[in-house]
Amino acid sequence: MLTHKQIWNAIDRLADKRGLTPSGLSRAAGLDPTTFNRSKREGPNGKLRWPSTESIAKVLEATGISMDVFVGLMDPSGNRRYSTRYVPLIGFAQAGDRGFFDDGGFPAGAGWDEVAFPEIGDENAYALEISGDSMLPVYRDGDVIIVAPSSSVRRGDRVVVKTNDGEVMAKVMARQSARRIELHSLNPEYDNRTLELGEVAWIARILWASQ
């Protein structure tokens, strides 16, 4: 599994390789200058803060480096090797069809297109290609998100939900009770949703967005 320290090490080393401070790297990526400051890496109560997937994606785009190179920067000594594996790539339209997933929300069958991604400790992880505008401005048409169906879901997590009727949506988990879940939309033009648990086929947490 990737750790908090490894991710921040990679950001610091990338900034250094470009002759920048963490603030300068933030500016180069079009982010708030304080995004990567050390003061942002831990809250007042000691809780660790992680950089968002969107901020890292913007840094990769601004610097022109690949995900593999970024992962290689996670250990300053360069002694540790990180493996990359291929995960199934599924379109949102396919995700809504019957037969593409088992009851646990794991891709079924074989012959999928694949994308390379660092090993994240979830052998069931897969990629979904976004289509349409319902997830703007966070996810755009053509973006790829990495989904981990084995990971636990908590309030505030971005998730992919599939209903028993075949509807697939990316939302924010706002609340979950013994009977229903409340989902907030990423795009303010789309309504929030409340679903009875009996309506839900599966829920999977979004770990990464490649934008």
pLDDT in tens, 189-200: 899 999 999 999
Instruction: Give domain 4-72's CATH number out of 3.40.50.1000, 3.40.470.10, 1.10.260.40, 3.90.1150.220.
Output: 1.10.260.40
Rounded to 5°, angle at Cα 57 from 55 and 60:
110
CATH fold, domain 84-210, is Umud Fragment, subunit A (2.10.109)
Domains 4-72 and 84-210 equal at CATH topology level: no
pLDDT of residue 178: 92
Task: Please state the rounded mean pLDDT for residues 44-69.
Answer: 83
Domain limits, the chain: 4-72, 84-210
